[in-house]
Structure 1
């Protein structure tokens, strides 16, 4: 069972890094912190609607994987399997 814990830990770390990168890739909606750091640079850097939809889908999928692995690790720890 120790190998399962190591694999799940690796998946959590990779999903966390990927989720952070995906969230930072999203287009700023304006008026928030994203404008302070250069998010409001204009329409020249805007993404297409399809690309934004795909980025949203990928972000949600990676987020769900991250949550599922966190729950699995918690259950394994709670029941003393790892």
Structure 2
């Protein structure tokens, strides 16, 4: 296997797992996993707290890394070109 392929696959898997985890940490309509884990850290105001803003940023970064690694894999290794 090519080292570039291995690196891109690792990036794809790690960013995909991170994306799932960080999306699950987002609070929905007041009750979410993030509220259950650290309910005392969140404010009860209507605005977004600093922790939720950082969670949004990390989620966006994971999504961008996931999409970029997926696009790079699609361009460099089209369907059927990776030998087993």
Per the shorter chain, which TM-score range?
0.7 to 0.9
2:14 counterpart residue number: 14
Moved over 3 A (4+): none
Structure 2 unmatched ranges of 5 or more: 44-48
TM-score, normalised via structure 1 length: 0.73
Which of the two has greater helix per residue? Answer: 1
The 1:81/1:3 distance shift into structure 2, 3 A limit, reads farther
Q: Secondary structure at the match of 2:77?
A: helix
TM-score, normalised via structure 2 length: 0.71
Higher normalized contact order (CA 8 Å, seq sep 6+, divided by chain length): 1
Aligned length: 73
